[in-house]
Amino acid sequence: MLLAEGELEPRMLLHHPASGVAQCATGAGISTGGSTLRTRACHGLVPSGVVVQQAQALVATPVTVLFPSGISRSVQNVVGIRCEAGGGEKVGFFGRLGRVIKEKAKGDIDRLFNGFSKTRENLSVVDELLTYWNLSDSETVLDELEEALLVADFGPRTALKIVDELRNDILAGKLKSGPEIKKALKTNILNLLTRKVTSNELQLGTSRPAVIMIVGVNGGGKTTTIGKLAHRFKKVEDTKVLMAAGDTFRAAASEQLEVWAERTGSDIVLGEGEKKRPAAVLAQATKRAVQENYDILLADTSGRLHTNYNLMEELRNCKKAVTKVLPGAPQEVLMVLDGTTGLNMLPQARQFNEVAGVTGFIVTKLDGTSRGGCVVSVVDELAIPVKFIGIGEKLDDLQAFDPEAFVNALFP
Ligand SMILES: Nc1nc2c(ncn2[C@@H]2O[C@H](COP(=O)(O)OP(=O)(O)OP(=O)(O)O)[C@@H](O)[C@H]2O)c(=O)[nH]1
Ligand SMILES: [Mg+2]
């Protein structure tokens, strides 16, 4: 039995019942009898972030695959999983970068918890509702629960999905108490955050440089996020980070990015003279990143309204210019979404995705909003993962998005 090729991600466990050894499985799909289980992460055998070229199950005994959500599935004919990682120093390097970028700094969980205080306030009514829940007033409670989700900007469609699933489970007799309903509520939300997307981790490919384009509407936090990302990457020793000042629209934009470059010890390509067109700046920066062997190129772009046809076409050209210099790039097109806009981010995200092929979201300013439920809605509606969240203006206020920690911060 072969495991399909995939990225490793330390998330799920393969449990070998005979030996009792829990082995972290990794990043590949396990194909069994026609169905494919997408696994994440292999521990001990292959470092996280490394691309699995081939993985093979060794012997024949059933194993239970435990997903982070707590759901378990039995897989036949597996005893151990052997993963052969793609070779080469570059793969290893990006694996290392992947780990560091995901690393939880001390106090991260606390900061996440504090960052969500406003949204949590909106949802605190859920606990009150469920404490005194009984079967006879289920409908009223479910209505009020839906209302609380709407207030926290989960969006009508997503809120309805969550509540409908709870209603079905209550009617089927599967949920019999307030705590059970709360647990199911959290599981439902976690499923919405994970089931349509494969990975919340950056996919940087296997060769240098990896180009990350940052796009989004005005003032969402793109430039600040580039500074925060560079700060993270720079935690890996000797990482060469280049920034591209692709926002040639605003006079002060380049200077703002220059400040971040300086603060993080990154280099920067600025548009000058005739090369001031954004696509030209990005092409020039990509060339330099290739020629001078940079690891990461972080490309800033101007804020633009998703409804402005010309500016959206300009964005399309920016991406093309990067790909022309370096086929396969940009490896990531990350759209910055301003958390304070709540559900208004949905049409923006749709349009940017159509034009630029968004590979992940970074939702910023979640520290200042009571509308954090929009994170669930945007993932559910667009099937694009959230990769990072911004919970403040400082360099360290960017966190790798962890769906479980997010749900726990909303419903402690
Ligand atoms: N509270 C909070 N503020 C943030 C966060 N991220 C960015 N900001 C602030 O948002 C404001 C706009 O940030 P920028 O990085 O300039 O946004 P931008 O998207 O580059 O803006 P344009 O280039 O004008 O489109 C700044 O004041 C940032 O400090 C965050 O996660 N939390
Ligand atoms: Mg900017």
Instruction: Give pLDDT tens digits for 293-347.
Output: 999 999 999 999 999 999 999 999 999 999 999 999 999 999 999 999 999 999 9
pLDDT band, residue 255 (cuts 50/70/90): very high
pLDDT at 275 over 80: no
CB atoms within 10 A of CB 395: 17
Q: d(Cα 305, Cα 50) in Å, to the nearest integer?
A: 37
Are residues 170 and 27 part of one domain? no
Are residues 136 and 54 part of one domain? no
Are residues 365 and 242 part of one domain? yes
Mutate to test the pocket of ligand 1, among 248, 393, 396 (most ligand atoms within 8 A of CB): 393
Residue 259 or 113, more confident: 259
Ranking 31-35, 156-160, 242-246 by mean pLDDT, the lowest is 31-35
Are residues 265 and 184 part of one domain? no
> Domain of 251: which CATH number?
3.40.50.300
Residue 114, domain member (yes or no): no
Q: Point out the ligand 1 atom lying closest to the alpha carbon of residue 398.
A: 31
Does 338 contact ligand 1 (Cβ within 6 A)?
Answer: no
How confident is the model at residue 95, as a pLDDT?
Answer: 63
In this predicted model, what pLDDT tens digit does every residue of 49-62 receive, in sequence order? 333 333 333 333 44
How confident is the model at residue 60, as a pLDDT?
Answer: 37
Are residues 151 and 22 part of one domain? no
Are residues 382 and 236 part of one domain? yes
Domain end call among 33, 67, 87? 87
Q: d(Cα 364, Cα 225) in Å, to the nearest integer?
A: 8
Range among 82-86, 97-101, 105-109, 165-169 rated most confident: 165-169
Domain end call among 87, 108, 138? 87
Does 219 contact ligand 1 (Cβ within 6 A)?
Answer: yes
Residue 129, domain member (yes or no): yes
Range among 26-40, 78-92, 224-238 rated most confident: 224-238
Residue 95, domain member (yes or no): no
Q: d(Cα 261, Cα 121) in Å, to the nearest integer?
A: 37
Residue 102, domain member (yes or no): no
> Domain of 162: which CATH number?
1.20.120.140
> Which residue, by CA, sits nearest to atom 26 of ligand 1?
221
pLDDT band, residue 113 (cuts 50/70/90): confident
pLDDT band, residue 45 (cuts 50/70/90): very low
Does 300 contact ligand 1 (Cβ within 6 A)?
Answer: no
Are residues 367 and 269 part of one domain? yes
Residue 106, domain member (yes or no): no
By residue range, what is the domain housing residue 232? 210-410
In this predicted model, what pLDDT tens digit does every residue of 118-148 receive, in sequence order? 888 888 888 888 887 877 888 988 999 999 9
Q: d(Cα 335, Cα 294) in Å, to the nearest integer?
A: 23
Task: Count structural domains, the chain.
Answer: 3
Are residues 163 and 75 part of one domain? no
Domain end call among 59, 87, 115? 87
Are residues 400 and 310 part of one domain? yes
What percentage of the chain exceeds 90 in pLDDT?
Answer: 51
Q: d(Cα 157, Cα 13) in Å, to the nearest integer?
A: 32
Q: Which two tokens stand for residue 305?
A: 């309204």
Residue 112, domain member (yes or no): no
Does 399 contact ligand 1 (Cβ within 6 A)?
Answer: no
In this predicted model, what pLDDT tens digit does every residue of 368-405 receive, in sequence order? 888 899 999 999 999 999 999 998 999 989 988 989 88
Residue 25, domain member (yes or no): yes
Are residues 287 and 217 part of one domain? yes
> Which residue, by CA, sits nearest to atom 14 of ligand 1?
221
Are residues 187 and 215 part of one domain? no
Are residues 399 and 289 part of one domain? yes
pLDDT at 160 over 80: yes
Residue 392, domain member (yes or no): yes
Mutate to test the pocket of ligand 1, among 114, 116, 224 (most ligand atoms within 8 A of CB): 224
Does 314 contact ligand 1 (Cβ within 6 A)?
Answer: no
Spatial neighbors of 304 by CB under 8 A, at least 6 apart, are 217, 218, 311, 312, 314, 315
